Amino acid sequence: MSENVNKANRTFTDRARDAVQSFGLPRMIIAVFLLVLFIAAPFVGADFWTQVTNLFNRFSWNAVLVLAMVPMVHSGCGLNFGLPLGIISGLLGATLSIEWGFTGLASFVMAVLIATPFALLFGVGYGWLLNKIKGGEMMIATYVGFSSVSFMCMMWLLLPYHKPDMVWGLAGKGLRTTISLEGYYAGVLSRFLQIQIGKLVIPTGALLVFALLAFLMWAFLHTKTGTAMTAVGSNPTFARAAGINIDRTRMLSVVMSTWLAAVGILMYEQGFGFIQLYMAPFNMALPAVSAILIGGASVNKASIANVIIGTILFQGIVTMTPTVMNSMIHMDISEVIRIIVSNGMILYALTRRTEATR
């Protein structure tokens, strides 16, 4: 009753303050900065609609990788710094699908299907490890990610791939660092139902696939098992006292996260148009972690909205800043700026880490 009275008495500034509070001040600042960049873009000679298209593309490439963070955050395993492990499953799926001669959309579907058993296998092993070291997940996850990348650096050379599109030209064996997906699945999703208005191009298909995966994740979190997963992350002792098998729930979340990472990298490749092997997965985890943190997630709470907002803000800043700055000073230092901005955002995001009440 008293609450209603308060609501009636609240002024506009109160409501504005609440809105800022629920959205979060850091997010507000980043969003305003991004807006300023968009407004500034046409004045310094960068085309506005090209920039918007760029943001749409970047979003569609990266969103699934960010979504992969959600299950492990919910089960209390923290942020999945071990994302490269899932990415490697995806890369195995991609390369095997091409090796076995699939092309076009079929090569994408097969890549997902082939990646799945790898993701399950790696996920179970990774989950088993994380269950052994509760409390130190994020540190160990980082090592798992990095060491798996290093191991695969050897394997990409040694595994018996033969497809001429993928192997080194002279030796005839060992995979190249970058493999073009032209003729395979480059753009198969983004070109599906693509909308083009002037210079604005919307990769509808890719966005729809992300929407589907995000919906499935949202739905999962509304089921009995999903509820249990959230409770395990919120207070494991409470969950155990309510008869939940904590280890199994955590394991499930790790497997889900690993599989989403595998699908995520395939989504990235189909947008980007290339498979990047060797050290490339190394640099995929931190941007995804940063994006979800900037989106407002904490170490044990994350929602689909966090994923979407975070990916837009992070990718927006990272792509827009170099373009606008470049056009402003008429000198090509975009790579330098890109590195400064993206690492700066990562650093900033990691300082924003918040944890739940115990």
Partner 1 sequence: MNAPLLELKNIKKDFFGNQVLTDINLTLNEGEVLGLVGENGAGKSTLMKILFGMNVIRDTGGYGGDVLLNGQKVNFASPFDALAAGIGMVHQEFSLIPGFSATENILLNREPQKKSVVSEVFGQRLNTLDRSAMRKGASDAIEKMGVEIDGEMVINDMPVGHKQFTEIARELSKEQLKLLILDEPTAVLTEREAAALLDSIRGMSSRGIAVIFITHRLQEILNVCDKVVVMRDGEIVKDVAAQETNVTEITRWMVGRSVNAAAASHREPPESDTVMSIRRLWVDMPGETVRDVSLDVRRGEILGIGGLAGQGKLGIPNGVMGLYQAGGTVTFEGKEIPLNAPRKCLDSQLAFVSEDRRGVGLLLDESLEWNIAFPAMQIQDKFLKPLLGGLIKWRDEKAIADVTKRYIDELQIRCTSSRQKAKELSGGNQQKVCLAKAFALEPQFLFVSEPTRGIDVGAKALVLEALKKFNRESGVTIVMISSELEELRQICDRIAIVSGGRIAGILPATDSSEDFGALMVSQVV
The site for partner 1 (CB under 8 A) is made up of 2-3, 6, 9-10, 219, 222-228, 230-231, 234-235, 237-238, 240-245, 300-301, 356-358
Measured from the CB of residue 242, what is the shortest distance to partner 1 in angstroms? 4
Measured from the CB of residue 21, what is the shortest distance to partner 1 in angstroms? 10
Cα gap 258→120, rounded to integer Å: 7
Q: Which is nearer to partner 1, 147 or 237 (CB)?
A: 237
Measured from the CB of residue 252, what is the shortest distance to partner 1 in angstroms? 14
Measured from the CB of residue 216, what is the shortest distance to partner 1 in angstroms? 11
Q: Which is nearer to partner 1, 195 or 212 (CB)?
A: 212
Q: Which is nearer to partner 1, 49 or 220 (CB)?
A: 220
Q: Which is nearer to partner 1, 229 or 325 (CB)?
A: 229
- CB 285, CB 84: distance < 8 Å: yes
Measured from the CB of residue 336, what is the shortest distance to partner 1 in angstroms? 38
Measured from the CB of residue 223, what is the shortest distance to partner 1 in angstroms? 5
In our burial notation (b when 16+ CB lie closer than 10 A, e otherwise), range 92-110 reads: bbbbbbbbeebeeeebbeb
Measured from the CB of residue 221, what is the shortest distance to partner 1 in angstroms? 9
Provide the angle, in degrees to the nearest 10, between the axes of the packed helices 25-43 and 12-23. Answer: 90
Q: What three-state secondary structure class fits 221? A: helix
Measured from the CB of residue 164, what is the shortest distance to partner 1 in angstroms? 45
Residue 253's closest CA among 122, 145, 123?
Answer: 123
Residue 340 exposed, middle or buried by CB count within 10 Å (0-12, 13-18, 19+): middle
Q: Which is nearer to partner 1, 163 or 301 (CB)?
A: 301
Cα gap 158→345, rounded to integer Å: 37
Cα gap 257→289, rounded to integer Å: 13
Question: What's the Rg (C-alpha) of the chain?
Answer: 21
Q: What three-state secondary structure class fits 182? A: coil
Q: Which is nearer to partner 1, 113 or 219 (CB)?
A: 219
Phi, psi dihedrals of residue 76, rounded to the nearest 5°: 85, 15
C-alpha distances in Å from residue 311, one per residue of 105, 173, 181, 351: 26, 37, 24, 18
Q: Which is nearer to partner 1, 241 or 331 (CB)?
A: 241
Residues contacting residue 273 through CB under 8 Å, at least 6 positions apart = 180, 181, 182, 186, 187
Q: Which is nearer to partner 1, 9 or 351 (CB)?
A: 9
